[in-house]
Structure 1
Amino acid sequence: MKIKLLLFTLSLFSIISVAQNSVSSKISEYLENTQKVHGIPGMAAAVIKNDNILYQDYFGTGMIESLTPVSKNSMMPLFSASKLMTNVAVFKLVEEEKINITDPISKYFKDIPEEWKKVTIQNLLTHSSGIPDFIRFDMSLPHDKLLKELYKEEMYFEPGAHFQYNQTNYWFLARIIEQITGDKFADYIIRNQFNGNSEGILYSSNFKEAIPNRVIKYNYIAKRELFERNTPVGDEIGHPGNGISITMPRLIEWCQNVLKNKFLSSETHKLMLETFEYEKGPKEHFTNGWAVYKVNGNLTYGFTGGGVSGIRFFPEKDMAIIFLSNGMKTYSVHNMVINHLAGMIDKDLADENELMMNKIEEEFIEGNISAEGVFQNYKKLFAEDTEAHLNALGYKFIDNNPKYAVRLFETMVNEFPNSFNAYDSLGEAYMKIGNNKKAKTNFQKSLDLNPENKNAEDMISRLKT
């Protein structure tokens, strides 16, 4: 009997192993194709489910100049996805009853302007504070002088009214953490979320600094058909919002601990993921620090950063998916990749419309179908709002590879000749490729169709100067 049971167990493990290998093989095939189609220099991906690492692999090069391959030792920049660690730190202090998310920030900062005194910790977490964003100012200023400049500015809106992404929010969260704990922000994160072990973890906002194993982000310059290093220089005020670079094994470890509620109790974790209601919208868009993504009707939570990184949690599936890269020739693919991998792991998460849309876009990038072909396919998929979807696709391309945007917007103008927005979009695409004459012509057509189109009016004025 024991022998039969042992044989059955071994057989079951064998079946599970074969199934996992089959899924892993398909994931690798998909990722290799994605890297090729979108021109991604280097990337890494991982899937964690039920506390097991279902998938982990590395592709391409982290440093184009030296052809250094991406590996388990590569510290990949998370950029704005770094905010997730800051969020967990804030809620750890909430759990310890050292702070409350409803606390006004005036409790911690006595020198702030009067109109800032309505701002709460929750407003900082949800980007609903309305306070000025420090990235609009001279970042070389000493911190005390930068604060004075911020204090002179009018608030953007009343706290709680809107969502407006803002790095100052996370600088102030870090200052609160430091004030309460007496630690430097980065030291507190590493001690409490990484067991005090900084191996494979780096807080740095200075990308000109040469650091072994750190991967560099690259911007694609379509006119010259090459990648250029993206090397912003900042200091520690950027750390809570975008400053961490980390190896995949250490990030997997962190995600496993989040899934197991190792950092926070289940009750505090639930509070962190409560949807925040903005007075003037949007709805079901953001929690207390985490972005909300609907995947085939399932609510998922996470964050993205720099157009290259994405971390996503699927609580109902006890799953997390990580996708990290260092650039692309087309458009940011992290959400697309994460959604696709989720559908490969769990069919309940597979959105057939999204998969078809991704395939159409891939065929367009590879030159197998024209912009008109994209329109005809989109018309079948999105009969009610074909123009909106075509417009959204064009804007995906407009920064990295605007020639694709021009083709799509030209088709949009042909198919929707009475749409002021179609001409406005085409005008912006022509500006991106440096054809100001055609840009001006299309902005004028947009303005003729809609005299209240302020964007077209502003662009025409800019082109005149």
Structure 2
Amino acid sequence: MKPVSISQIDEYIAQVQKTSLIPGVSLAIIKNGKIIHRKNYGYANIENDIPVSDITIFRLYSLTKPIVATGVFQLIEKGKLSLEDPVSKYIPDLPASWNTVQIKNLLTQSSGLPDIVKYEKLDEKEAAEKVFADPINFKQGEKFEYNQTNFWLLERVVETVTKQNIQMYITENQFDGAASKNTVLFSTDSRDIIQNRATPYFNYATGSLQMALPYNGNYLNSCNGLNITMNQFIAWDAKFRTKKIISNASKAKMWEVFPYTKEKSEFTSGWDQRIVNGHISYGFSGGRITAYRIFPKDDLSIIFLANGLGGIFNVENTINQIAYLLDNDIIDYKVAAYETLLKTSKSNITDLKSTFVKLKNDPKYKDVDFEESLNVIGYILLNQDKKTNEAITVFQLNAEQHPKSFNAFDSLGEAYEINKDFEKAISNYTQARELNNDEGYRAHINAKLKELNAARTSLKK
């Protein structure tokens, strides 16, 4: 492990914020039980110029799940639950077809149950009636299929066993206790007024960054409802790593990869397992903007909390890059290639092809999906940086290197269309159409070509 360059980490976070239009970030890095970096960046609330601070509360979204899963294993450790228990043992009003589902199926997203999230705007009773009537998707244990029904049911199981609501149970058993002023909060409704909570900002509705107030039914608290400060998360990490929440044996059991019978997936009981150049890590992310990852053998924890984004962003890749900046042996070559190509595209586009060729010819990067990386970079330049010519250069390289990819030509056509080069837009959209046999896609491209031909004719007049 090389000496930690805090300035490099700060520069990287600044780059990520700028590239992905992320308003505010709180970052903590814990190594060998010590906080080696803890910093807040940007704004918790843009319109009132309120910076992210140590008292800023972040909604964790689905990052709630590993904490709830840990709570389930606390009950297992005390003999109050078993992974093999049928869920119907604790929730007697389930449909008969759900009676074979076990606790382990909920934790590992292997239940095959229909997703209650489709009905999240309904109250719990109405949502339950509808999801109970939906068909089972597959036999329990066959494969990983992420849905919110699993942790909705886990919440009901925990509350039945403990005779406490989920907030009280998690607070008393993993944080500072119900009487503490630092009691954690569960709220799946971002419209709720919670003092010091960061305002969420996203670009999903309009394409431009704006205040966004996602909400779910409060019965989905265990799915995505936990709201805490970074200081609370750091304290939780310390207790988790030092056996003050669950034992090492329970942790090892929780982190066993589930043996799905019809597919391979590196998922455990509520946690993703990720291996980065031989370094095993466990963690999860939420809302595309929060993530926690622990590398047990490296005694390294990384906590990244943000309050929104306005562009392309992969929070798991960001965690990997932070880990790499700390220790160059923890290198995700896919992320490394992407970061190298992105930096070259932004700083000196004329070097892009030579940089690409060097990476592609290096055996270390043999598993990199260069087509995806170039496509993402092209759209960052096109939509976020408004550098259309540079984006065209990236898309041209992608089409040249992947001549059988309809998507590469489609993206190049889009860039030319934005640049009002209708001749080249038509040519590349036509090539994309010829490479894709999907009737719906072809119909879409035909309509697009009709519009572009009309625009080209009008331009010539």
TM tier, smaller: 0.7 to 0.9
CA contact (8 A) 1:290 1:301 kept: yes
Aligned to 2:441: 456
Q: 1:204 aligns with which of 187, 191, 194?
A: 187
Q: 2:236 aligns with which of 240, 254, 266?
A: 254
Aligned to 1:275: 257
Counterpart-to-counterpart distance in 1, 2:439 and 2:103: 35
CA contact (8 A) 2:378 2:395 kept: no
Query: How far does the alpha carbon of each residue in 1:368-394 deviate from its partner, in whole angstroms, 9 at most, with x for none?
Result: 458767754653457986993322553
Counterpart-to-counterpart distance in 2, 1:227 and 1:109: 42
2:23 counterpart of 1:35? no
Gaps in structure 2 of 5+ consecutive residues: 451-461
CA contact (8 A) 1:160 1:279 kept: yes
CA contact (8 A) 2:337 2:365 kept: no
Counterpart-to-counterpart distance in 2, 1:72 and 1:78: 16
Residues 136-155 of structure 1: pairs in structure 2 closer than 5 A: 136-137=118-119, 139-155=120-136
2:141 counterpart of 1:156? no
Residues 429-448 of structure 1: pairs in structure 2 closer than 5 A: 448=434
Aligned to 2:49: 67
Aligned to 2:215: 233
Counterpart-to-counterpart distance in 2, 1:37 and 1:215: 20
CA contact (8 A) 1:307 1:332 kept: yes
Aligned to 1:120: 102
2:268 counterpart of 1:287? yes
Moved more, 127-136 or 339-348: 339-348
Aligned to 1:80: 62
One-letter amino acid of the counterpart of residue 123, structure 1: N
One-letter amino acid of the counterpart of residue 121, structure 1: I
- Structural RMSD (CA): 3.7
Displacement, 1:296? Answer: 1.5
SS in 2 for 1:348: coil
Change (3 A) 1:329 1:96: same
One-letter amino acid of the counterpart of residue 213, structure 1: N
Moved more, 50-59 or 359-368: 359-368
CA contact (8 A) 1:375 1:411 kept: no
Query: How far does the alpha carbon of each residue in 1:173-225 deviate from its partner, in whole angstroms, 9 at most, with x for none?
Result: 1010001000001111011111213527321111122322101221137987x
CA contact (8 A) 1:330 1:397 kept: no
2:146 counterpart of 1:165? yes
Residues 38-53 of structure 1: pairs in structure 2 closer than 5 A: 38-53=20-35
Change (3 A) 1:370 1:234: farther
| Total equivalences in the alignment | 440
Aligned to 1:417: 403
Counterpart-to-counterpart distance in 1, 2:333 and 2:14: 21
Q: 1:94 aligns with which of 67, 70, 76?
A: 76
SS in 1 for 2:309: coil
Displacement, 1:360? Answer: 1.8
Q: 1:339 aligns with which of 312, 320, 326?
A: 320
Aligned to 2:169: 188
Displacement, 1:57? Answer: 0.7
Change (3 A) 1:123 1:220: same
SS in 2 for 1:322: strand
Counterpart-to-counterpart distance in 1, 2:123 and 2:11: 49
Change (3 A) 1:49 1:375: closer
Aligned to 1:322: 303
Aligned to 1:218: 201
Displacement, 1:350? Answer: 3.6
SS in 2 for 1:359: helix
One-letter amino acid of the counterpart of residue 203, structure 1: F
Counterpart-to-counterpart distance in 1, 2:415 and 2:223: 31
Counterpart-to-counterpart distance in 2, 1:292 and 1:358: 23
Aligned to 2:289: 308
Counterpart-to-counterpart distance in 2, 1:160 and 1:396: 38
Counterpart-to-counterpart distance in 1, 2:363 and 2:447: 35
SS in 2 for 1:61: strand
Q: 1:177 aligns with which of 154, 158, 164?
A: 158
Displacement, 1:308? Answer: 0.8
Q: TM-score, normalised by structure 1?
A: 0.82
Change (3 A) 1:247 1:440: farther
Moved more, 195-204 or 100-109: 195-204
Counterpart-to-counterpart distance in 1, 2:213 and 2:407: 35
CA contact (8 A) 1:219 1:400 kept: no
One-letter amino acid of the counterpart of residue 302, structure 1: G
One-letter amino acid of the counterpart of residue 136, structure 1: K
Displacement, 1:341? Answer: 2.5
Displacement, 1:361? Answer: 1.5
- Residue identity (%): 32
CA contact (8 A) 1:95 1:268 kept: yes
Counterpart-to-counterpart distance in 2, 1:221 and 1:115: 37
CA contact (8 A) 2:413 2:429 kept: yes
CA contact (8 A) 2:185 2:228 kept: yes
Counterpart-to-counterpart distance in 1, 2:424 and 2:117: 32
One-letter amino acid of the counterpart of residue 230, structure 2: M
Counterpart-to-counterpart distance in 2, 1:68 and 1:438: 46
SS in 1 for 2:369: helix
Moved more, 442-451 or 311-320: 442-451
Counterpart-to-counterpart distance in 2, 1:380 and 1:259: 41
Displacement, 1:43? Answer: 0.6
SS in 1 for 2:209: strand
One-letter amino acid of the counterpart of residue 298, structure 2: K
SS in 2 for 1:252: helix
CA contact (8 A) 1:391 1:422 kept: no
Query: How far does the alpha carbon of each residue in 1:154-180 deviate from its partner, in whole angstroms, 9 at most, with x for none?
Result: 122222122111011111110100010
Change (3 A) 1:141 1:350: closer
Q: TM-score, normalised by structure 2?
A: 0.83
CA contact (8 A) 1:123 1:160 kept: yes
One-letter amino acid of the counterpart of residue 456, structure 1: Y
Counterpart-to-counterpart distance in 2, 1:228 and 1:345: 34
Counterpart-to-counterpart distance in 2, 1:102 and 1:459: 49
